[in-house]
């Protein structure tokens, strides 16, 4: 069982650009406890920072807003896969 669950919600701004909003479920549901990430690099950085509070013992729960398109979700998924592959390559070197 993870120490906390970090909600990762894919959202879309009025111009059709996706972003990811993070929320630590152990904290109050307050706007100042929500973190916005504009790309997967920023996302990875923020998840790591948020996880330090729990010694990295976190679980991520993904969801998306109703106005997010399947294309946007796929784009996030593709970027995440590319990021994870890059991280794995760096570990192996």
Q: How far apart are CA 70 and CA 62, in angstroms?
A: 14
Q: What is the pLDDT of residue 56?
A: 87
Is pLDDT at 7 greater than 80 in this prediction?
A: yes
- The model's pLDDT over 32-84, given as tens digits with 9 standing for 90+, comes to 889 999 999 999 999 999 999 899 899 999 999 999 999 999 999 999 999 99
Q: Residues with Cβ < 8 Å from 92, sequence gap 6 or more? A: none
Q: What is the model's pLDDT at position 62? A: 96
Separation of alpha carbons 91 and 43, rounded Å:
19
Q: Does the structure show a pLDDT above 70 at 2? A: no
Which whole-number Å values give the CA distances from 1 to 32, 57, 59, 73, in the listed order?
Answer: 26, 8, 8, 27
């Amino acid at each position: 069982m993870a120490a906390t669950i970090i909600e990762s919600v894919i959202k879309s701004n009025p111009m059709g650009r996706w972003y990811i909003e993070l929320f630590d479920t152990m904290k109050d549901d307050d706007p100042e406890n929500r973190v916005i990430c504009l790309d997967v690099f920023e996302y990875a950085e923020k998840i790591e920072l948020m996880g330090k509070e729990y010694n990295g013992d976190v679980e991520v729960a993904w969801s998306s807003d109703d106005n997010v398109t399947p294309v946007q979700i796929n784009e996030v998924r593709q970027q995440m896969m590319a990021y994870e592959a890059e991280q794995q390559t760096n570990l192996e070197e």
